[in-house]
Amino acid sequence: MATKRTVLRSKAGKKLYAVRNADGTFKDIQDYARAQKQDMARTSKAETEKKKKAAVKKAVKKAVKKVAAKKTAVKKAVKKAVKKAAAKKGAVKKAVKKVAAKKAAKKK
């Protein structure tokens, strides 16, 4: 849990953060600029969770793209194989007809 700070001003007019103990006495007094710099350097739990979620989302998108690319490649390969098989099937049919025709011609 973050410690609650009271904002004060020094004699010179600079802003100060004062951290108090449970009994109300000052535990630590910092210059506002220094405290602000430290706060900005730290990442909160919410920011960390947000970054994790974004990283997971990005990884999922990348995986989906990869799968989609593979899916299209598979589809292309299947189409190509079907075309080849159809061409071979036609060639086989022609060869069978030729052989049948030759056998029929020999019998006569």
Render pLDDT for 54-75 as a digit per residue (tens, 0 to 9): 999 999 999 888 888 888 888 8
- Distance, in Å, from the CA atom of 72 to the CA atom of 64, rounded to the nearest integer, reads 12
* Integer angstrom CA distances of residue 40 from 7, 31, 36, 63, 101: 17, 14, 6, 34, 89
Q: What is the pLDDT at residue 3?
A: 67
In the DSSP assignment, the letter for residue 17 is: E
Question: pTM (2 decimals)?
Answer: 0.42
Helix, strand and coil percent figures for the chain, each rounded to 5: 70, 15, 15
* pLDDT number for residue 58: 92
- The answer for residues whose C-beta is within 8 angstroms of residue 4's C-beta and 6 or more apart is 19, 20
| Mean pLDDT by groups of 10 residues along the chain of 108 residues | 74 86 84 84 90 92 88 82 76 75 72
Q: Which of 9, 5, 1 is nearest to 26 (CA)?
A: 5
- The token pair at 104 is 């029929």
Q: Are 35 and 51 in contact (CB under 8 A)?
A: no
Give the pLDDT score at 49. Answer: 92
Q: Which residue has the tokens 């994790």?
A: 52
